[in-house]
Amino acid sequence: MLSPERLALPDYEYLAQQHVLTYMEDAVCQLLENKEDISQYGIARFFTEYFNSVCQGTHILFREFSFVQATPHNRASFLRAFWRCFRTVGKNGDLLTMKEYHCLLQLLCPDFPLELTRKAARIVLLDDAMDCLMSFSDFLLAFQVQFYYSEFLESVAAIYQDLLSGKNPNTVVVPTSSSGQHRQRPTSGEASMLEGVEASLFCQCLENLCDRHKYSCPPPALVKEVLSKAQRLTFYGFLVALSKHQGTNQALGALPDKGDLMHDPAMDEELERLLVQVPGLANSVTASPETSCLPSRTPPRGASPWRPHHHPHKVDAESDGSTEETDESET
């Protein structure tokens, strides 16, 4: 009924733990940007709507990246929004490249950093060429781990590098999020005959890390379980196992189980209802509206008379990395 730890915290810690000030500050910024709204509806109404949208998780839509990643709740909301908006991509069985997924992310968050998408793609593709195609659910599950546990993974990468080079793990200094060099793989010269590091040692270090980490990290029991399945493993081996583990998805709580990722009957119904209303589209209800703004390599499915109008414009506006597809579709 009541969790007493919350009541025992000092005021400032309670507020920080719940990110109350983050949202209050943001509410004030939003209010200052929309001064005309408050003269019409009143300040209390403005704040009511703001905090309601935070509760519902719609507050991160089209916001700047620094805000989208500011709190665990914002990250989970963003993952959920991404899934809900582009689920039909997966349902149609489209395979997309890393750059294309990045375009989708940028539709929701215009300044979403490419680096993060690339890291997520690496979890799926490992050593394969980075322009390989990925399925929606593979990408989504890898992306959620990379995005949600970003800072944690940075620290894990640093620990992994130290273990590889034979340093004592207990003297590891956790880097700040600004250091990004430790992703480099060991050159074949310095890597030992066996690939990766010893799982039990790695596990010990990660347990320590979970204990003192101030950002969100996966449940320690889960990390342990993932690591107990192998004798040795590589950094990306660990990430793959973590992202594919059912428990990770459950602990994070933003998405449904993997089997249900494509399943959302209420949303499907809503989509069909909307599509019926679009004139000239009545016979092609299987085509989804979201895919229309994608640079797509497959020919348009069904009759979609609106496609040529939307397509070039959207691509110009939202993607800067996928020129080849744009060229293709414009010719």
Partner 1 sequence: MAALEKRRPAVAPGAGFSDGGRPTASRAAAGAESEEDFLRQVGVTEMLRAALLKVLEARPEEPIAFLARYFENLGLRSPASGGAGDPPGQLLLQQQRLSRALWHLRLAHHSQRAAFNNNVSVAYECLSAGGRKKKPGLDGRTYSELLRRICREGEAPDAAVAPLLRKLQCRDHEAVPLGVFRAGMRTCFVLLEFVARAGALYRLLEDPALAAADRRVGQAVLDTLEGALQTGDGDEAAPARYLEAGSRLGPDNVALAMDRAVVARRPCVPMHREEFLEKAAALFIAKVKPVG
**Residue 45 contacts partner 1 per CB under 8 A:** yes
For the CB of residue 76, give the shortest distance to partner 1 in the complex, in Å.
Answer: 13
Query: Please, which residues have CB within 8 angstroms of residue 323's CB and are 6 or more apart in sequence?
Result: none
Choose the stretch contacting partner 1; rule: CB under 8 A; options: 24-32, 160-168, 232-240, 276-284.
24-32
How many residues contact partner 1, by CB under 8 A?
A: 33
Of the two residues 41 and 328, which places its CB atom closer to partner 1 in the complex?
A: 41
What is the closest distance, in whole angstroms, from the C-beta atom of residue 61 to partner 1 in the complex? 17
Minimum distance from CB of 57 to partner 1 (Å)?
Answer: 11
**Numbers of helices and strands, H then E, in the chain:** 18, 4
The whole-angstrom separation of Cα 9 and Cα 241 is 36
CB of 239 to partner 1, least distance (A): 31
C-alpha–C-alpha distance, residues 95 and 134, integer Å:
5
Give yes or no for residue 20 binding partner 1 (CB under 8 A).
Answer: yes
- Least distance (Å) from partner 1 to the CB of residue 69? 16
Cα gap 272→202, rounded to integer Å: 49
CA-to-CA distance for 30 and 60, rounded, in angstroms? 12
CA gap 299, 177 in Å, rounded:
42
- Select from 37, 51, 91, 150 the one that contacts partner 1 (CB under 8 A): 51
What's the min distance (Å) between Cβ of 214 and partner 1?
18
Euclidean distance between the first and the last CA atom of the chain, given in angstroms as a whole number: 63
Q: Which is nearer to partner 1, 13 or 324 (CB)?
A: 13
Residue from 13, 36, 37, 42 binding partner 1 (CB under 8 A): 42
Nearest Cα to 234, choosing from 127, 149, 145, 98?
127
Give the shortest CB-98-to-partner 1 separation in angstroms: 30
> Is 317 near partner 1 (CB under 8 A)?
no
Q: Contacts with partner 1 in 100-159 (CB under 8 A)?
A: none
User: If binding is defined by CB under 8 A, does position 36 make contact with partner 1?
Assistant: no
Cβ-count burial 245-276 (b if 16+ within 10 Å, e if not): beebbeebebbeeeeebbebeeeeeebeeebe
The single-letter code of the amino acid at 172 is V
CB 85 within 8 A of CB 108: yes
Please say which residue, 51 or 306, places its beta carbon nearer to partner 1. Answer: 51
Residue 282 as a binder of partner 1 (CB under 8 A): the answer is no
Does 267 bind partner 1 (CB under 8 A)? Our answer is: no
95 strand-pairing partners: 135
CB of 42 to partner 1, least distance (A): 5
**For residues 232 and 237, what is the distance between their CA atoms, to the nearest angstrom?**
9
Q: Which of 13, 36, 37, 52 binds partner 1 (CB under 8 A)?
A: 52
**In terms of Cα–Cα distance, which of 253, 212, 244 is closest to 225?**
244
Site for partner 1 contains 65 (CB under 8 A): no
How far out from the chain centre does Cα 154 lie? 15
Judged by the rule CB under 8 A, the positions of this chain that interact with partner 1 are 1-3, 6-7, 11-12, 14-15, 18, 20-21, 23-25, 28-29, 31-33, 35, 38, 42-45, 47-48, 51-52, 54-55, 73
